[in-house]
Chain A
Amino acid sequence: MASITITDVSKTYPGAKAPSVSGISLAIRDGELIVLVGPSGCGKSTLLRMVAGLEDISGGEVKIGDRVVNRIDPADRDIAMVFQNYALYPHMTVRENMAYGLKNRRTPGPEIEARVTEAARMLELGPYLDRKPRALSGGQRQRVAMGRAVVRQPSAFLFDEPLSNLDAKLRVTMRGEIRRLQKRLGTTSLYVTHDQLEAMTLADRLVVLNEGRIEQVGAPLDIYLRPASTFVASFIGAPAMNLLDAELDGARLRLGTSVIELGQLPGAKGAVTLGIRAEDLVPSATGLPFRTDFIEELGAQRLVHGHIDGQPLVLTLDPAMQIDSEMRLSVAAAKLHLFETSTGKRIATAARSGLAVPQPA
């Protein structure tokens, strides 16, 4: 058990113009499950691999516990990694796969046996211990890969998109298993994924990465409720947050032909980006003029796609609710997110209350 401290870490591949990861600082507390999430190419895997020791660290410092591990061999970092494509040794049985790392560390035989048995029991791999990986299903292979990490009893688990190769249903099951296992063992974990749903459901804290930099760190719900930038706003949450071009004129927010009274002076003016979550929009007698384009049925709710004053907008509605081709929408003032258009950064606004009913200009 240990904390992981990442200080100002960057990575530039030889021959590359721009760094893949730059100036990342992150303190992971003991026992915490941190999820690194971002689109492909954002540097999340590179960061994980630097912690694992599979990539050299170009700048900065990685500490596991009290030990700076920049120059330490991966095998000596006291970490265990679970790979996307399982990375099981095809010539070894499940038992040998799990025992391999321990054997190389000269763990006594009975101890290895005990740990493998315990891990197999925990992961329900008992009947498969003497099989080769090729005789296992995808989910079983991934459990073996986790077993291999568990038996090592390391300071930290590193997960590199471990569920990406599984089908959707199995992914949900395994997600739960990983969460349960991690809580039970209390091992510090760093988990990489590009799937925002997986990130939201698993994380104690979420780290959203974009182009090699941290966009936002925080608890999943905090990030969902207060995204720090338009990037985070559009990446976290499904459907993505609606982002609309608007204009600030004092406390009045002009959106197409409508005006929303904010009732309070935000710290900016001129062109801004207005963010509204799909579920925060409610039909009302007056408000934003919405034209319906098409509907996506999700069962529990409906996604209604349309536009207001030429800007696309999505809202989620209860299936019982009547949908017209033209509707008026309003939104709670506290649920409005304002971002600078140029930088995409969130504009700090104090909490507001009441329903902001947009009026025709």
Chain B
Amino acid sequence: MRDATHHPAPPGLIRRWLSRPGPAPEPAKRVQFDQPLLPWLFLAPQLAVIFVFFYWPSVQAITSSFYIEDPFGFGSTFVGIDNYKDALGSREYQRIAGFTALFTVLVTAFSLGLGLLFAVKADKVIRGRTSYRTALIAVYAIAPPVAGLMGMMLFDQHIGPFVRLAAWFGYDMKVGINYWDTAFAMILVSVWKQVPYNFIFFLSGLQSIPASVREASVIDCRNGFTRFRTAILPLLAPTAFFLLIINITYALFDTFAVIDVMVKDKPANNPMTLVYKVYNDGFRGNDIGGSAAQSVILMVIVLVLTLIQFRWLERRVHYG
């Protein structure tokens, strides 16, 4: 995204969003081509991929969001922005959007926090560090649907250890039936799945901090927590910023499989995120137009979030 400023003329608004004060980065070495077509030829494969997998579906989604499609595929009717009005006006949509926000905040916060905590601890381990790290990273190798299934098992009504644990405290946990119990399980499994990813990045970030800088801080500051907050954490900021974006995207989109496994065969009143609702309405409810409108809304949300992040957060991040 740093390179974004090099690209010729993004539309005015976005360019203003992206432009940051400070010295302009060094221009890259320019390559001269004798034939004007040659560079386009080199670009063609990349452009083709982007076009086929990104622009074309996006255009399709935007187009269908203005139509109502016949459930049996016999035709479609132009309805303008009715699909958007329906989606944004519906109480259900608003409720799911609210849950998605809560879900994203919690999953991002917990998986970043735990990943950082584990990384800081693992960084200090000297004996058996390899096995300790492998154990922490292993979870990342589990495919999301499998993780969802394992999560289901952990919260199973009959054999799930979490349900038994809750029962000890006199609580009757009903994942898949009780709205907040399901939400809890969803968040827990999603966090569990993402922690190793954050762990790897934080750990490598920590290890790239020079030993002498840490030692200098040990001499300069006795309190371990203050030391971490003032001398170590700022040096992790680029890693944390990158992970923040990745984690928000993860919580919004990549948790799909986990949610699917948890709510698929369950009664209707279960929490879900916006992206799951897109799927649900489109493929289960056969409301292609409405689902397309929702996905366009989602696209706009992500675009805005990313711009805000780069605009406001990146400026405060120190790149060493």
Contact = CB atoms under 8 A, between A and B. Distances in A.
Interface string B289-320: 00000000000000000000000000000101
A80 B320 CA distance: 24
Nearest to B221: A104
Nearest to A104: B221
A92 to B, nearest CB: 8
Contacts of A90: 213, 235, 318, 320
B194 to A, nearest CB: 27
B219 A104 contact: no
Given A85-B210, A104-B226, A91 B219 contact: no
A349 to B, nearest CB: 46
B215 interface: yes
28 contacts: A52-B215, A52-B219, A53-B218, A53-B219, A54-B215, A74-B215, A74-B218, A74-B219, A75-B219, A75-B220, A75-B221, A75-B222, A76-B222, A81-B219, A83-B212, A86-B212, A87-B210, A89-B213, A89-B231, A90-B318, A90-B320, A91-B318, A100-B221, A101-B220, A104-B221, A104-B223, A104-B226, A104-B230
B217 interface: yes
Contacts of B222: 73, 75-76, 104
A88 B318 CA distance: 14
A85 B217 CA distance: 14
A89 B220 CA distance: 11
A234 interface: no
Nearest to A52: B219
Contacts, number: 66
Contacts of A73: 222
Interface residues of A, number: 24
Nearest to B211: A87
B234 interface: yes
A201 interface: no
A79 interface: yes
A91 B223 contact: no
B24 interface: no
A100 B230 contact: yes
Interface string A65-85: 000000001111001110111
A8 B170 CA distance: 63
Which 4 A-B residue pairings sit nearest by Cβ, starting from the closest? A75-B222, A87-B212, A101-B220, A87-B216
A75 B231 CA distance: 14
A89 B320 CA distance: 10
Interface of A: 52-54, 73-76, 79-81, 83-91, 100-101, 104, 134, 148
B221 A85 contact: no
Q: Which among B219, B220, B221, B235 has the greatest number of chain A C-beta atoms within 10 A?
A: B219
Given A87-B210, A89-B213, A90-B318, A101 B235 contact: no
Contacts of A134: 320
Contacts of A80: 219
A355 to B, nearest CB: 53
Contacts of B219: 52-54, 74-75, 79-81, 101
A83 B220 contact: no
A85 B212 contact: yes
Contacts of B212: 83-87
B215 A83 contact: yes
Which bucket holds chain B's interface residue count? 20 to 34
Contacts of A53: 218-219
A87 B223 CA distance: 19
Given A54-B218, A76-B222, A91-B235, 13 more contacts: A52-B215, A53-B218, A73-B222, A74-B215, A75-B222, A85-B210, A88-B216, A89-B231, A91-B318, A100-B230, A100-B231, A101-B221, A104-B220
Contacts of B223: 104
A53 B219 CA distance: 9
Contacts of A88: 213, 216
A101 B223 CA distance: 12
Interface in B200-249: 210, 212-213, 215-223, 226, 230-231, 234-235, 237
A80 B210 CA distance: 18
Nearest to A82: B216
Interface in B242-299: none
A106 to B, nearest CB: 11
Nearest to B318: A91
A130 B52 CA distance: 50
Nearest to B220: A101
Contacts of B237: 91
B215 A89 contact: no
Contacts of B216: 81, 83, 87-89, 148
Contacts of B230: 100, 104
A319 B270 CA distance: 95
Contacts of A87: 210, 212-213, 215-216
B261 to A, nearest CB: 43
A163 to B, nearest CB: 15
Contacts of A104: 220-223, 226, 230
A35 B231 CA distance: 30
B182 to A, nearest CB: 42
Contacts of A85: 210, 212
Nearest to A101: B220
Contacts of B231: 89, 100
Q: Which among A80, A81, A84 has the greatest number of chain B C-beta atoms within 10 A?
A: A81
A54 B216 CA distance: 10
B217 A89 contact: yes
Nearest to B320: A90
Given A84-B212, A100-B230, A104-B223, A75 B218 contact: yes
A266 to B, nearest CB: 49
A195 B221 CA distance: 31
